[in-house]
Structure 1
Amino acid sequence: MRRLVGVALAGALLALSGAGVQPAAAAITVDALTLSVKRVDYPALALRGLVLRLDVATSQLDLRVASLRVGPHTLQDVHFACPRAALSYPVVECRGGRMRLARKPLPVSIDFRFDLAGRGARFVAAGDRGARVDARFDPSGRLEARLSRVPIAELVRQFQGMLPGLAGWNPSGVLEAELDWRGAPSMEDQATGGARREWLRLRAGIDNGAFGSADGQRAAERLAVDLSVEASAVEDRWQWVARADWKQGAAYLHPFFVEAGPRIQASGRLRGDRLTVREASVALEGVGALAASGNFDLQQRQWTDGALSVADADLAVIGPRWLAPLVAPAAAERLRFAGRVSAGLRFEAGALRELDAVLDGAGFSQPGPAGGGVSFGPVSGHVPWRANGVTRLQLEIGGARWERLAFGPFALAARLQGDRIGFDRSVIPLLDGAVVLDGLALQRVEGEWIGRGGAVIEPVSMHLLTAAAGLPAMEGVLSASIPALSVRPGEIAFDGALVISVFDGYLQATKLRVHEPFGVASHLTGDIEARHLDLAQLTRTFSFGSITGFADADIRGLELVRWRPARFDARVASSPGRYPRRISQRAVQNISALGGGGAMAAIQRRLIGLFDTFGYRDIGFRCVLDAGVCKADGIPGVERADGGFVIVRGGGVPALDVIGYNRRIDWMELVDRLQSAIGSKAKAEVH
């Protein structure tokens, strides 16, 4: 930027030769020379309010410029003072000059030599720490400049008014650059009135570059970048070619971490405030070809339109680096990708208008911390989308997995219209049944997706389901009718009922919500109601002993975190009605584990040794789980003077009671007791 200030000074003095200048006044006295110029205009810069004063007696030169415009940026109150100046017409010289911008001194010493007759100029600025800017301007209109060891931090600090976006990045490093510009009108152009022609070549490099924002969302170190630009113009219509090579270092630009390697080549044109990128290509690891084009408004500093195409991208390479930080930043390190994708995108006014993507064997998986996890794919097909049109999505999906449940291959078709997606009826195989999605529709509102639809689970064998989940074998079927399924950011809600026909009774789950289904802290909430469960089948399945009769259960406020109970209010009680009620020795001993250590003391031990089974009147147990503690209780309304609670109330001959005394039980301790009591078959179920 310092060299441009020198060029501005040269341009002001060149005004005497008639190049776009409106002089206000000029006076020569015996002691001093004063020159005032209203304006000087060149395509790349403009001066307003220039006042030059040369004190002949002291050889001091003083130059003030009210405003200096360089490209789209303007500097106010430019002041240059030279303690050792000389005027020997037509040459003006200065040694050891100093400059101020908006009354702030620049840490450079400036020398220049300018020929008022239009025979060229030389400008040298030397910094206090070895930085140097050396510029030459010859009569043909050619400018040659070289920047050496320029500290980027100082450059941004001094010219933060022209570079406002960089100040918050706290950049550092060293800049080296060479500029060759042929931009002023040649003598031939002025004589013939021919078209104005310009040519520019820039070579620049950044060494040991770094930056970092205060919020930590942008950071880089050890950067080495080479940049080259070649451009030519006829009457301010520029054609340009640029290349950039990131040779060293790494950067974090939230949410992406990128290492050196990308190379960019671009070409286009520039006219006024409109920068056109005709074609840009990027060499990027894992991508067969990446190209872009578009138009950028320099005044508004935004893209007005653009297009991007990606060909033959390897998702295993680009997925963890570019996709995972966007779709699941909290779980980015655990996401795995496979397959390939090609895509084309078109933007207008900063918004996506068209998208075409072709997937070939694409898929992703997210292993769970304790096994299971989520996977989807392989997926093949075409995804076309238009902001103002209707298109059809067609995908073939090879399968999916959610925790321990595996889904078979299925087809997915949808109608795409702007921010709306309407899915066709989809049948997703699940063991010997299926999950049927019907009428599912999604809509993007304020940047987030919400949706509603219906779902049906066609009967699935509990025998197959429990085997797939690693649970003890059960008989029966699972089915569900969910007329109102809703999807919101971070939540899937099931407003109907999930019904499992099992043990000659049923379990019904309602108010089901899956929170953060694909996140690290995914959890499920809901209520469960169980009615008329055959205890003989249940205890036989879990090797719990033997109990004849039926039981009801209610679990309110259930919350599962990673499929482990974290909170609930559960009640178990005998079902109403007349039926045989017997309980075996082993079942009595196992139930006693629910009551804590004192429960065994209350059992008539001699009866345990004399009889295989006992009659009972009813069974009741309550556990309110919170913060890892189960607050226990027994059959409602049955109080004991010793503070205990009744879990099994005896009835018939022979009869016995099972009584608990520990009303606060560590949940994991209770789980361990049950696991020890009923054997390894049920370990997967009780957790």
Structure 2
Amino acid sequence: MPRLRLATLILLTAGLSGPALALDGLRLGIGDLQGDGWSLEGVTLDLSLGQRDTLDLQVARFQLPEPLGTVRQVRLQCQGGRLDNLTLDCPRLEVTWQHPALGRGSGTGRMTLRLDGRLDLDLALSLEAWDGVGIRLLLGPGQWQATATLQAMPLQGLPPLLRALTTPAPDSPLRDLLLQGTVSGHLQATGGDEGLAHLVTQLTWRDGAFSAAGGTLAGEELATDLALEARQRAGHWRGRLDLTWSEGGSYLHPVYAESSPQAPAQLGLTFTGSPQRGTLQVDQMALTWGEALRVAGTLAVDTRQTPPLREADLHLDQGHLPTLYDTFLRPFLHGTVLEDLDILGDLSAQLQVREGRPSQATLTLADVHLDDRRGRLGLYDLEGRLQWNGAHTPPASHLGFAGGHVYRIPLGDSRLSLQLERDGLHLLAPTQIPILDGALAVETLQVGGLASDDPVLAFDGRITPIAMELLAAALDRPLFTGTLAGVIPQVRYEGGELSVGGRLLIHAFDGLIMVRNLRLQDPFGVAPVLSGDMDISHLDLAAITGTFAFGKIEGRLQGHVHDMVLVNWQPVRFDAALYTPLEGRFRRRISQRAVDNLVSLGGGVGGALGTGFLRVFESFAYHQLGLSCSLRGDVCQMSGVAPAPSGGYFILQGSGVPRIQVVGFTRQVAWRDLVQRLAAAVQSGEHNTGDTD
């Protein structure tokens, strides 16, 4: 057999040292040898015979199985040995070699080699490039043991070694991985003729740091402890792993997490697996992170299939939302209304995976309080239980909150009964969400496509009467009088856009406001875009103007705002006209203050049968009044209810005696100037002519 050739050649020289022939030394040019998985090239043997026998074996090239590869310049020296017809005994053995990745190495120990190929070896090894690493190799009949002891071993050279011993994929982090820190502990591997059978590892990593090109992986000031024991039988491994991360911060895009001795991250699991088959079965797993997270369960992985996770039963028994949100959830919520929350409360969850797909899930919320720091959304004392099943109809879910707000509009105690579906949910029964002294009555609610990047929401509802005074106060707006009510039909959210399919009817100021073609793109984003058309019918002007210091106007108001576009709630385009209709039987009176402010808004002048004496009248009759604005960008094209003979436009046409009229001459006004004029008129009622173009 090839593996006996070297031993046979060595032992045959024993006959040359007998009395029949006396020699001082012998050199043999053995050449090349090979066996299962290995080969020797350029083998020479020097044997010095005398009072102290010395055996010097040199190998130019020693080819080992991957990943070890080729070892060069191997030299084995046996001094003071004893050589007889059956055994070579080396009580003092010295070994040196050169490896392209490991560098120069050396070792000392003892060796006994018998003619039948039996080898007993006890060798202590060291590597010049790896200070603090000690290796001991024991070989005996049918068994071997390798032990490595690490004393504050620097890790800087490990990535180049890993890259030399392996062939990382082009996108693998190993290609550009950098490591720092020191490792201490020991590794012990035991095996026999069938290979590795038992592995025990205890390691500590201190002052650790790592990074990869591209910035997707990084860590600093790390302290971790690893304990691993595993046994192999018939190609299957069974063992236990315990990992503790007690200091430092780690970044795995886009998640950054920190650990501390007071709140360490700990993972413990027992497992069975087959590296040859690419399978791993975790029979028992426990993951904790301080008081913020506690997960237990089992799972099965098969790397030959996609996705690799084939089976799982995971239980999140404890989840502290402030920590979980800041660390694991917030990085994935960028650009949504949930990206910047103050949050309190706890959650628990269960997840079951079968044949590579989620099959059941349950999420329970308790005492959750969340508030958007930008004031867009808030929910208080949120609680609920959501149950999902991928194959069957699960039990009903529920969700409720004691209060909250949407854009500062307060919400009251609400309860929703929901049925979760395979890819969505629907409302089981109509519900009401209190808003001030009214409510949003949700008749139907359907959500689909939750597993996709483009979920779809649809609902129908109505607004029961809400006092305008309360709504205006909540929004920090002037205190309108009257009520707000209406029908909200065919509301749909899809592709980042909220739309109303039918006509939104709002009853306010004893009139009707009808909104059509309503669209809201990116409603909770940085710059939401609102578009639509609005028609106004029969609003009570006294109820509207009586709210402000603008001045009292009695009558009815018609009008429209068409082709309206608001970006981040600021208008950039619309065609608007507000006026009193000529038809209809209603009182038409306007106060002196209102006249002055109409002059200010229109940038025009007022005139009548006289001038100064009109100041003695508190109000005047009018025939018609109105103003229109066509906004494009930051400029408003102004007009009134009719052309004026002087070349301007009538904002107010008087009636009776004394007859008063207001004529506007400004055709183009900067939108910000018009808003400032209106604000000044509303706040003080003082006359301000403004600039004319």
CA distance in 1, matches of 2:334, 2:552: 48
Check 1:454–1:56 CA distance in 2 against 1; reply closer, same or farther (3 A cut).
Answer: same
Cα distance, 1:178 vs structure 2? 4.2
Q: Is the 8 A contact 2:341 2:370 kept in 1?
A: yes
Q: Is the 8 A contact 2:364 2:383 kept in 1?
A: yes
For 1:363, what is the secondary structure of its paired residue?
strand
Residue of structure 2 in register with 1:81 after alignment? 72
Matched, 1:416 2:414: no
| Bigger Cα displacement from structure 2, 217-226 vs 128-137 | 128-137
Residue of structure 2 in register with 1:109 after alignment? 104
For residue 324 of structure 1, what is the amino acid of its counterpart?
A: R
For 1:183, what is the secondary structure of its paired residue?
strand
Residue of structure 2 in register with 1:492 after alignment? 498
For 2:119, what is the secondary structure of its paired residue?
coil
Mapping of residues 192-207 of structure 1, within 5 Å = 198-207=197-206
Matched, 1:34 2:31: yes
Aligned with 1:361 (options 363, 367, 374): 367
- Cα deviations by residue, 1:552-605 (Å, 9 ceiling, x for unpaired): 222234344565545433222332415554432211211223234xx3588985
For residue 656 of structure 1, what is the amino acid of its counterpart?
A: Q
Cα distance, 1:294 vs structure 2? 0.9
Unaligned runs of 5+ in 2: 9-25, 47-55, 80-87, 686-693
Check 1:546–1:339 CA distance in 2 against 1; reply closer, same or farther (3 A cut).
Answer: same
CA distance in 1, matches of 2:215, 2:602: 54
Cα distance, 1:390 vs structure 2? 0.6
CA distance in 1, matches of 2:684, 2:211: 55
The sequence identity of aligned pairs, in percent, is 23
Residue of structure 2 in register with 1:146 after alignment? 149
CA distance in 2, matches of 1:481, 1:63: 87
For 1:679, what is the secondary structure of its paired residue?
helix
Check 1:485–1:611 CA distance in 2 against 1; reply closer, same or farther (3 A cut).
Answer: same
Mapping of residues 116-131 of structure 1, within 5 Å = 117-120=118-121, 122=123, 124-128=125-129, 130=131
Check 1:200–1:107 CA distance in 2 against 1; reply closer, same or farther (3 A cut).
Answer: closer
Residue of structure 2 in register with 1:483 after alignment? 489
Q: Is the 8 A contact 1:631 1:664 kept in 2?
A: yes
Check 1:660–1:180 CA distance in 2 against 1; reply closer, same or farther (3 A cut).
Answer: same
Cα distance, 1:517 vs structure 2? 3.5
Mapping of residues 266-281 of structure 1, within 5 Å = 266-272=269-275, 273-281=278-286
Which structure's residues are more often helix, by fraction? 1
- Cα deviations by residue, 1:592-650 (Å, 9 ceiling, x for unpaired): 23234xx35889853653543345443332334455x24131127627776x5543345
For 2:550, what is the secondary structure of its paired residue?
coil
Check 1:630–1:565 CA distance in 2 against 1; reply closer, same or farther (3 A cut).
Answer: same
Residue of structure 2 in register with 1:428 after alignment? 433
Matched, 1:290 2:295: yes
- Cα deviations by residue, 1:94-117 (Å, 9 ceiling, x for unpaired): 7553223xxxxx262122568454
Mapping of residues 226-237 of structure 1, within 5 Å = 226-237=225-236
Q: Is the 8 A contact 1:398 1:408 kept in 2?
A: yes
| Bigger Cα displacement from structure 2, 517-526 vs 253-262 | 517-526
For 2:643, what is the secondary structure of its paired residue?
coil
Residue of structure 1 in register with 2:255 after alignment? 256
CA distance in 2, matches of 1:350, 1:417: 19
Which one has the largest radius of gyration?
Answer: 2
Residue of structure 1 in register with 2:178 after alignment? 171
Residue of structure 1 in register with 2:82 after alignment? none
Aligned with 2:320 (options 311, 314, 318): 314
CA distance in 2, matches of 1:351, 1:269: 22
Matched, 1:50 2:39: yes
Cα distance, 1:374 vs structure 2? 1.0
Aligned with 2:376 (options 373, 376, 384): 373
Residue of structure 2 in register with 1:510 after alignment? 516
- Cα deviations by residue, 1:376-434 (Å, 9 ceiling, x for unpaired): 24233322211111112123332331122222222211222211312122222233432
Check 1:238–1:453 CA distance in 2 against 1; reply closer, same or farther (3 A cut).
Answer: same
For 2:546, what is the secondary structure of its paired residue?
helix
Mapping of residues 635-646 of structure 1, within 5 Å = 635=640, 638=643, 645-646=649-650
CA distance in 2, matches of 1:377, 1:319: 16
Residue of structure 1 in register with 2:670 after alignment? 665
For residue 598 of structure 2, what is the amino acid of its counterpart?
A: I
Residue of structure 1 in register with 2:138 after alignment? 137
Check 1:666–1:380 CA distance in 2 against 1; reply closer, same or farther (3 A cut).
Answer: closer
Cα distance, 1:335 vs structure 2? 0.5
- Cα deviations by residue, 1:26-58 (Å, 9 ceiling, x for unpaired): xxx96532343352xxxxxxx3x5344324479
- Cα deviations by residue, 1:479-531 (Å, 9 ceiling, x for unpaired): 33233121225333222233222233211222333433444444543322212
Aligned length: 624
For 2:660, what is the secondary structure of its paired residue?
coil
Matched, 1:544 2:544: no
Q: Is the 8 A contact 2:218 2:250 kept in 1?
A: yes
Q: Is the 8 A contact 1:266 1:278 kept in 2?
A: yes
For residue 60 of structure 2, what is the amino acid of its counterpart?
A: D
- Cα deviations by residue, 1:184-210 (Å, 9 ceiling, x for unpaired): 228xxx9xxxxx993321022333333
Residue of structure 1 in register with 2:679 after alignment? 675
For 1:167, what is the secondary structure of its paired residue?
helix
Aligned with 1:402 (options 399, 406, 422): 406
Matched, 1:302 2:308: yes
- Cα deviations by residue, 1:252-292 (Å, 9 ceiling, x for unpaired): 22332210121222222223432221222122134363223
Q: Is the 8 A contact 1:620 1:636 kept in 2?
A: yes
CA distance in 1, matches of 2:293, 2:253: 25
Check 1:67–1:299 CA distance in 2 against 1; reply closer, same or farther (3 A cut).
Answer: farther
Unaligned runs of 5+ in 1: 1-11, 19-28, 40-46, 69-73, 101-105, 191-195, 682-687
For 1:224, what is the secondary structure of its paired residue?
strand
Check 1:133–1:197 CA distance in 2 against 1; reply closer, same or farther (3 A cut).
Answer: closer
Provide TM-score, normalisation by structure 1: 0.80
Provide TM-score, normalisation by structure 2: 0.79
Cα distance, 1:127 vs structure 2? 4.7
Check 1:197–1:157 CA distance in 2 against 1; reply closer, same or farther (3 A cut).
Answer: closer
Q: Is the 8 A contact 1:365 1:376 kept in 2?
A: yes
Cα distance, 1:250 vs structure 2? 0.8
CA distance in 1, matches of 2:287, 2:149: 28
